[in-house]
Chains A and B, each alone.
Chain A
């Protein structure tokens, strides 16, 4: 009986994006009478149980919280680690490049660890993650969804199209997710309001639900002030009024969610609710776009995009401007003749053998060729025979740049050196 443990100690969006890995492991476990375990922060344990009913949830005090003391954290961590250590796992997937996750990994033998790892005090990461770190030097040409990186840490990933349901309207009207954790990646209410109005009218919706935490209540009020009275009257402001279960209930019933790159967006994709996403600043739909079929992403594609989240913007946040362009509003309303402003492109989500992929519908996509070359390269690297038809010649430069001698000369981290036939 195979036992799998996934350590996902990050936030809501990351937990939701772990579905491809978890569902693949669940399919394996079901075939052989195995078990899937999932360790998350305490605040997400209830949601994890709802999203992944097949998994046994373990709760760790990973996030700091008001009133949480070091002594309490130590006690909770001791209890959770005791539980985990008592189980003989065949694979332990640590998904976060964080000392917390790697600290938990240290309880397990190196040969069962996957992803970020730690053994005998030495942290390390799998070959795929080493490669992903090298890819981060050129994010524009990068095109591997985070959910797929995690899924491919296992030898057999679930087919991407089987991960989330195909998106269809669920009858509950339009939803609007206010800013996510990084405000720079969201549109201000004065830019967002015309977009909401346009989509409200174009889709024939009768209800709009504003979603967010209490911290976004002010933005919700500002948005309501900017909306037409008719649209504002159709709005229900739920910011700060839903717990995670309530958020799931609301989102899963929507006809469409309008959102920047947020956890709410990933929840909508999880439940098969169509997403219209606005990606700007450091958000790059080819890395963290909504997973599955039936979503659309308006992506800022200015030469500086995607930028580094940690670096201050020295361009005056110009990536917001295309979203305020009248041509964009006409395009959003469905006009085929509308001329998109430069620096903006529309992508539709799709799946291929490697995973999630965003395909250009409108605008220009200067990095498309580079991304496809990279995907072919990664497909050969990760899928073997499935990628036999791809031509290695265009990927020569990538093979030179992304692969280091350590990758082929040394045994993969944690694997035995025997590698007999």
Chain B
């Protein structure tokens, strides 16, 4: 499925929200696959937008300023593309790519892909920007693909959510951590209206709720843990591992359906499975093709949830068997690495000449003398780059390293600059 060569990929993170960690997982997976991935850190610009909100100007002027500054951020992405020269720009939902910038990238022959990890019926803005991407990856099936085609986006690929095995993994939980993060019946996530009402019906179980947006709910306040603050990924993994039963109730902004009907499968499903943590997950139409009946336990109503909670709390060996099978399936089929391979393969199928326009360069190691060659080979392994990576790609990866560079990295950069200065002389 892969494209068989090292690619340069610029991952555009959103400034905030649920797709932000997904973008980081993508970048990490792309590097693991041996590609040179750079990340556009849009969250760094978010503070400027918050500052605009403190100006105390008219609402019309505020809207104008927000739009103007967003154009600047988008231009920053253009500049990054010019410098980095990516084969693909991968944007996550809410990425700060304006239509103007997307048009310019298309004109310049830079391929762009959006992984729209949102519900298309709730976040309807795809109608505005979808045709400007070369490839549109989605977490839902029909009728979304049909609708995208109708507005001029034919290159649609179904790409369900995933998990990162390096992050979402089984953990040994210490007694202290268990007191902090453990619960008999645990939920980690935001307090959407349906969850508030549903969990109020589970107070006779040992319920613990982690996450934000649960304010003002008197019925659940006694079950809210860690002060209802935001939970980062590392803590979330501890919470998953420390629970006897993890609840995974898909969200809905509507309170009338406690267990909402829906199609796409949320990231928590994959993350819990990858952790080897037992979960009870609400029914989704796309779930059976991702996990079999003997891998995940599903519920379609509150009655069914209560019944299964009671059963599985009393049967630890069954819980363990389910969790093990779910983890095996997640490792085999649902990693971000696999998703990125699928996405790159799809781009390659849509555009047979892709990646194009890059000069064939000599392998980085070929021109280096020993023992520098051996030392650089170790660096390639550290950077997850293939042994035949080109010198320009190696330099791009070195430039993306954080903090102080090592003498080897510095000497490679020096060599690159020396070659540029004296090229052709």
Write the residues of chain A forming the contact surface with B, with a CB cutoff of 8 angstroms.
1, 28, 88, 90, 111, 116, 119-125, 130, 155-156, 377, 380-381, 384-385, 388, 391-393, 395-396, 399-400, 403-411, 416-421
Contact = CB atoms under 8 A, between A and B. Distances in A.
B143 interface: yes
Contacts of A416: 212-213
Nearest to B70: A405
11 contacts: A1-B218, A123-B59, A156-B256, A380-B127, A391-B147, A393-B151, A403-B127, A416-B212, A416-B213, A418-B190, A418-B212
B284 interface: no
Interface string B32-49: 000000000000001001
A1 B131 CA distance: 44
Contacts of A392: 127, 147, 150-151
Given A122-B62, A396-B152, 14 more contacts: A116-B59, A124-B53, A384-B122, A384-B124, A391-B147, A392-B151, A396-B151, A408-B123, A409-B70, A417-B16, A418-B16, A418-B212, A419-B16, A420-B230
B14 A124 contact: no
Contacts, number: 128
User: Per DSSP, are chain B's interface residues mostly helix, strand or loop, or mixed?
Assistant: loop
A419 B190 contact: yes
A136 to B, nearest CB: 12
B23 interface: no
A125 B49 CA distance: 16
A114 B88 CA distance: 39
B127 A396 contact: yes
A27 to B, nearest CB: 10
Contacts of A124: 53, 59, 62
Nearest to A155: B253
Contact of B98 (A119, A156, A380, A405): A405
Contact of B127 (A123, A395, A405): A395
A125 B62 CA distance: 10
B25 to A, nearest CB: 13
A85 to B, nearest CB: 16
Given A130-B63, A156-B255, A396-B151, A421 B70 contact: no
B14 A409 contact: yes
A122 B131 CA distance: 35
Interface of B: 14-18, 46, 49, 53-59, 62-63, 66-67, 70-71, 74, 94-96, 98-99, 119, 121-125, 127-129, 131, 143, 147, 150-152, 189-190, 193, 211-213, 215-216, 218, 230, 251, 253-256, 266-268
A305 B230 CA distance: 52
User: Per DSSP, are chain A's interface residues mostly helix, strand or loop, or mixed?
Assistant: mixed
A176 B202 CA distance: 58
A396 to B, nearest CB: 5
Given A388-B121, A421-B18, A404 B57 contact: no
Contacts of A411: 16-17
Contacts of A406: 63, 66-67, 70
A395 to B, nearest CB: 7
Q: Which 5 residue pairs across A and B have the least CB separation, nearest first?
A: A408-B125, A417-B16, A121-B56, A384-B121, A399-B127
Contacts of A407: 125, 128
A124 B65 CA distance: 12
B269 to A, nearest CB: 10
A209 B88 CA distance: 73
Nearest to A111: B215
Given A406-B63, A408-B128, A410-B49, A120 B17 contact: no
Interface centre among A388, A406, A416, A421 (most CB of B within 10 A): A421
Contacts of A396: 127, 131, 151-152
A421 B123 CA distance: 14
A49 B72 CA distance: 51
B96 A409 contact: yes
B67 A405 contact: yes
A418 B213 contact: yes
Nearest to A124: B59
Contact of A403 (B66, B125, B189): B125
A170 B14 CA distance: 58
A419 B128 contact: no
A417 B212 contact: no
Nearest to B271: A421
A421 B125 contact: no
A391 B150 contact: yes
Contacts of B128: 399-400, 403, 407-408
A403 B98 CA distance: 12
Contact of B55 (A90, A122, A419): A122
Contacts of A380: 121, 124, 127
Contacts of A88: 216
Given A392-B147, A399-B127, A406-B63, A420 B94 contact: no
Contacts of A123: 58-59, 62
A245 B16 CA distance: 51
B99 A405 contact: yes
Nearest to A377: B127
Contacts of B143: 388
Contacts of B125: 403, 407-408
Nearest to A123: B59
A420 B121 contact: no
